[in-house]
Every structure is written in structure tokens, then in C-alpha cells.
Amino acid sequence: MSTTNGSYSSAMAACDVVKLHKPNFTPKLAFILGSGLGPFADEIEDATVIPYYKLPGFHSCSVSGHAGNMLLGYLKDVPVVCFQGRAHIYEGISADPIKTLIRTIKLLGAEMVIITNAAGSLHEDMPAGSLMMLNDHINYQFTNPLIGPNDEEFGPRFVSMDDAYNAEIRAQFQKVAKEQDIKLNEGVYLAISGPCFETHAEIRAFKILGADAVGMSTVPETIIARHCDLKVAAISAITNLGAGITNEKLSHEHTLKGAKLAVGSMIKLLLGFVENYKQART
């Protein structure tokens, strides 16, 4: 199926496919899973799995650690949609498939998207295996997914990025983390385009700019989600220290290894959040 243009009609076409697979299903929460964090999807009950190649406008993933499936089902009786894998700018694609994914979430009726990613830390006291919730970001990808004609059906031409990472949801995550005895760092995520990891000089520069972690995703999704007024929370699984902070050699395999150190507490935190969400609404 060819990639369409991320517009209203392409997200509607993806929704139509979802409705054929799982009629009358309205997810409340959406999860996007980063590198090595796919095992969270095993927690979903009564899961319907739709590979991205069956969804018009979606991008079939080319990166190992990203399965390329949409799952629809229940976590603690809360209807959820979950994405195992995402498109990245470094794959040489336009932002269209990222728009289609986020706008499909919106049209399916979810109220928030919880984005996870793998990231490098800029602080030695936030090592591999740590979790960092984003409280802001720096877009260092030198592009913006909303460049081009505005899709008025979804949002305005000019988008405020105040409170991009919803403060109320962050407070709920901190409450859950405390209850579960999980250390949940908070900080600024800086997105590069990739696919190179950073140079040592870039890591030093990003620290001066005010970043706490660095990665190759999440910022386009957040911008598109805020444009259509979806609430956003985002959590990084720290998989390594930034290039040059120690002698560790960075590679995708190293990222996947690092993600394994964080996946247990990430799953516990996300499930705790869903439980908290359910209790607040019953």
C-alpha cells in the first residue's frame, strides 16, 4: 500500500481498516513504543494485531527492535491502542506517515498519547536503565513535521508548544512512580535527526543548550499531537551515556541492550499509570 499524505483522508482510511478489524472499539489511551520497549505490548489483553503494511499511510519499520504493528485491546479493562514501532526522519521519509499515525489516534477517539523512546543521557547520575520523563524538548532535527499546507481539520496554522508535555499527566506519573518506588527523572529531550550518534563536541554543546537526554524520535510525534490537541506524555528509557561521556562505544545493539535494563521499570510505570487512570474515572 502506498504512503499517502498524512492528511485527513489518509488518517480516515487507516481508521476504516482499524474498524474492520475491531468494530466499535474506542481507545482511551495510545502508546508508542520505542526501541526495545515492544514487550510492553505483551500486557495487552484481547489484542487485535494489525501490521502497518495493512494500514494506508503507515510506514513499515526498517529498524530492528521495532516490530511495525498496531495493537488494539485492553490494559486493566481500559481500551488502548499501542504502536510497536514508528517511522524516523533518518529513514529518509517525509513526516507524512508520522502524521498519519498520530492523526489516526486522534480520529479513533483517544484522549492522550504516551510516547516512549530510547535515549542517551547527558548526566552520569542518570545512567543506562534510568527513566526520564520529558518536561520539554529542543527540536534539533532542522525540520518541522507541520511544514507545508496546514490541515485545518486537525488544528491551526500556528501551534503553541506551551505545556507540550502535559503538566497534570506528569504529576500523575510522578505519583505512580513514588507509589511503585521507581525513580522517575524529569528533563529536556533534544532530538537530532540521526542516524549518526552525536560527536563528543555535540554532546558537550547540547549540555550547554539545556538538554538532559538526546534521541532521534518523539519530537515530530509531539508536535503533530499538539497540533490536533491530543495530550502528550513522553518517557525516555536511558540506554547509554551520551557519546564521549565515558568510553562506551555506541551502536544500535548497545541501545537495545540498554533498553533491556529499563524495560521492566518502564512496563511497571506504564501499567501503574493505567491503573491510576482507571481509578480516577470509576
Residues with catalytic annotation? Answer: 35, 66, 88, 90-91, 118, 216-217, 240, 252
Among 120, 145, 187, 220, binds ligand HPA (CB under 6 A): 120
Among 240, 263, 269, 270, binds ligand HPA (CB under 6 A): 240
Question: Of 93, 107, 73, whose CA–CA distance to 230 is shortest?
Answer: 107
Segment contacting ligand HPA (CB under 6 A): 60-68, 83-91, 180-188, 214-222? 214-222
Report yes or no: 224 and 146 within 8 Å, Cβ to Cβ: yes
- String of b and e for 216-240 (b: at least 16 CB within 10 Å)? bbbbbbbbbbbbbebbbbbbbbbbb
According to CB under 6 A, which one of 69, 130, 239, 265 is a site residue for ligand HPA? Answer: 239
Map residue 69 onto helix, strand or coil.
strand
β-pairing, 112-121 vs 213-215, is antiparallel
Residue 70, beta-bridge partner list: 50, 83
Q: Is the bond into 195 cis (omega within 30 degrees of 0)?
A: yes
Least gap, CB of 258 to ligand HPA (angstroms): 7
> In whole angstroms, how close is the CB of 63 to ligand HPA at the nearest point?
11
Q: What are phi and psi of 157, to 5 degrees?
A: -60, -45
Q: In 3-state terms, what secondary structure has residue 112? A: strand
User: What's the Rg (C-alpha) of the chain?
Assistant: 18
211 contacts ligand HPA (rule: CB under 6 A) = no
Provide the minimum distance between the beta carbon of 169 and ligand HPA in the complex, in angstroms, as a whole number.
23
Is 187 among the residues that bind ligand HPA (CB under 6 A)? no
Residue with Cβ nearer ligand HPA (73 or 242): 242
Q: Residue 147 is which amino acid?
A: I
Strands 131-139 and 112-121: unpaired
Q: Which is nearer to ligand HPA, 141 or 240 (CB)?
A: 240
Residue among 51 and 194 whose Cβ is closer to ligand HPA = 194
* Shortest spacing between CB 184 and ligand HPA, in angstroms: 18
Q: How far apart are the C-alpha atoms of 27 and 105, rounded to whole Å? A: 8
What is the Cα–Cα distance from 189 to 174, expressed in whole angstroms?
Answer: 18
Binding-site member from 128, 250, 266, 274 for ligand HPA (CB under 6 A): 250
Residue 214 touching ligand HPA (CB under 6 A):
yes
The answer to whether residue 197 forms part of the interface with ligand HPA (CB under 6 A) is: yes
Is residue 189 within the footprint of ligand HPA (CB under 6 A)?
no
Near ligand HPA by CB under 6 A: residue from 41, 119, 122, 211:
119
Kindly state the smallest distance separating residue 273's Cβ from ligand HPA, in Å: 23
Cα gap 89→195, rounded to integer Å: 9
Residues that bind ligand HPA (CB under 6 A): 118-120, 197-198, 214-216, 239-240, 242, 250, 255
